Amino acid sequence: MTITEAPLHRVAADDFVSRGHRLLIDGEWVAAASGRTFATIDPATEQLLGEVAHGEGEDVNRAVRAARAAFDHDSPWRRMTPSERGKIIHKIGDLILENADELSMIESLDNGKPFTMARAADIPFAADVFHYMSGWATKIEGSTIPVGQDYLAFTQKEPVGVVGVVIAWNFPLLLSAWKLGPALAAGCTVVIKPAEQTPLSVLRLGELLQEAGLPDGVVNIVTGFGDAGAVLTAHPDVDKISFTGSTEVGKKILHAAAGNLKKLTLELGGKSPNVVFADADLATAIPAASNAIFFNHGQACNAASRLYVERPVFDEFVEGVSEFASNIVLGAGTDPRSEMGPLVSAEQMNKVLGYLDSGQADGAVATVGGERWGDRGYFVKPTVLTQTRPDMAVVREEIFGPVVVAMPFDDPAQIVDTANDTPFGLAAGVFTRDISKAYRTAARLKAGTVWVNTYHVFNAAVPFGGYKESGWGRELGHAALDDYLETKSVVTAL
């Protein structure tokens, strides 16, 4: 008889996910005021993972009161020195690394992404963001400004206040780190509402925040749906909203925030172009362009979903990307052999399949993929669509799945205009061996990030965010920190 033992992190993750999950308000784990719960499921098996407290307006109100009290002038959090604050933030990063296997497994179960990917990317990067931001806590400085002998003028930076954080499901832990890191470094307090599809890793992070010594009420977690997000974003006692999600919901938040003119950071959708010139090193460009769309199953706001390839190498390039796609191993994210898991939900799978149907009905041709994979779990085959026209929905709209539209171009002078012909402006790629062509193209692309001869390269110190309808403000780097600070000018008569 053989006994197969699950690895310890799998046991820990299973134990965590199957618990009844509560809200974190003012340092206490509490049920929703209504007593209601909702189910979170494993998108690879469609099986129930666990029940989560269904937070609604009353819970959001309680959480905002706790965050406001924790922001009070004399609260433990506000009385801490920047150095003490920095140490706690650093400790959060350490605890994420110490629990990286378990967190990666939780993310894999709840979101569907491969454990190996979460372990290599999401979780260590989340730790990096806390480590990077912890250093800023002691370096938030104002300036003295010469205004003549009769006055002393200086500025000081202050935390913006209570921050409402609302995030999408594609990188649940990582996106919360992108927001919590700078918010805490600045000295703000937070109410966070994770996406309904993926609440679990943020709840586990809540335990780690407590373990790191964060005072009660500094970060509050309200799991729930869009209605809870709507109450938070309209709340008159919230000073700022930091949102990652769709452009459609971003616009709703803009209206909701108008009541008390909240500050806003909005990280929204994209339809990012990847421009490959004929002189590119194809051995690098083909796998890079493939990962640029297929990483995280295409569920990345910055996914390079429009691929423009100069005509002389177009056929070879499409063949290469199609071959790459056909070699991707699909399967449950918890299986170490899987390179691509399911999409996050039935709704998301059906949305992507809808685009594949409409695109193919309009005349697009799938050189690979084009359909669902299997009949259990929300898997979609990685897909390359060719023979599209610029006005097709698959070319213009964000699909948020493993689908790239590949188009040839003839005129290098025109391609930037074509690449910029979109309401979005999050990211772009350029592949060429000609360095001046690369920089000239990068300069003209209307996108918050341009990658040259690579794609998806992130760093906690490098700002990320959108032009046009891809958003407002920046994540990461000290640009993100600035978005959680106010500047006060103090002018004294001498």
Quick check: 265 binds ligand NAP (CB under 6 A)?
no
Torsion angle, alpha carbons of 21, 23, 28, 31, to 10: -70
Three-state DSSP class for residue 225: coil
Q: Which stretch binds ligand NAP (CB under 6 A): 73-81, 242-250, 334-342, 452-460?
A: 242-250
- Sole binder of ligand NAP in the list 117, 249, 293, 416 (CB under 6 A): 249
Quick check: 252 binds ligand NAP (CB under 6 A)?
yes
Quick check: 166 binds ligand NAP (CB under 6 A)?
yes
Quick check: 301 binds ligand NAP (CB under 6 A)?
yes
d(CA 189, CA 89): 13
Identify whether the C-beta of residue 262 lies closer than 8 Å to the C-beta of residue 239: yes
As beta bridge partners, residue 308 has: 275, 407
Q: How far is the CB of 246 from ligand NAP (least distance, A)?
A: 3
Quick check: 269 binds ligand NAP (CB under 6 A)?
yes
* Identity of the amino acid at 409: F
Quick check: 448 binds ligand NAP (CB under 6 A)?
no
Minimum CB distance to ligand NAP smaller for 17 or for 249: 249
Q: Which stretch binds ligand NAP (CB under 6 A): 27-35, 135-143, 210-218, 249-257?
A: 249-257
Quick check: 125 binds ligand NAP (CB under 6 A)?
no
Quick check: 107 binds ligand NAP (CB under 6 A)?
no
Handedness of CA 394, 395, 399, 403 (dihedral sign): positive
Quick check: 40 binds ligand NAP (CB under 6 A)?
no
Quick check: 38 binds ligand NAP (CB under 6 A)?
no
Q: How far is the CB of 245 from ligand NAP (least distance, A)?
A: 3
d(CA 190, CA 63): 9
As beta bridge partners, residue 265 has: 242
Task: Say which residue the tokens 């780190």 belong to.
Answer: 177
Is 267 known to be catalytic?
A: yes
Question: Which phi and psi angles does 339 have, rounded to 5°?
Answer: -105, -20
Binding track over 357-396 against ligand NAP, x by CB under 6 A: ----------------------------------------
Six token digits for residue 441: 């193209």
Q: Which stretch binds ligand NAP (CB under 6 A): 38-46, 266-274, 377-385, 437-445?
A: 266-274
Strand bridging mode 37-42 / 47-53:
antiparallel
Exposure b/e, 177-212, CB count within 10 A at least 16 = b: bbbbbbbbbbbbbbbbbbbbbbbbbbbbbbebbbeb
d(CA 232, CA 241): 8
d(CA 440, CA 446): 12
Of the residues 267, 398, 469, 475, only one is catalytic, namely 267
Quick check: 253 binds ligand NAP (CB under 6 A)?
yes
Q: Report which residue's Cβ sits closest to ligand NAP.
A: 229
Is 301 known to be catalytic?
A: yes
Q: Counting Cβ atoms within 10 Å, is residue 75 exposed (0-12), middle (13-18) or buried (19+)?
A: middle
Pick out residues in 174-233 that bind ligand NAP (CB under 6 A). Answer: 193, 195-196, 225-226, 229-230, 233
Residues that bind ligand NAP (CB under 6 A): 166-170, 193, 195-196, 225-226, 229-230, 233, 244-246, 249, 252-253, 267-270, 301, 398, 400, 426, 466, 471
The residues annotated with a catalytic role in the active site are 267, 301
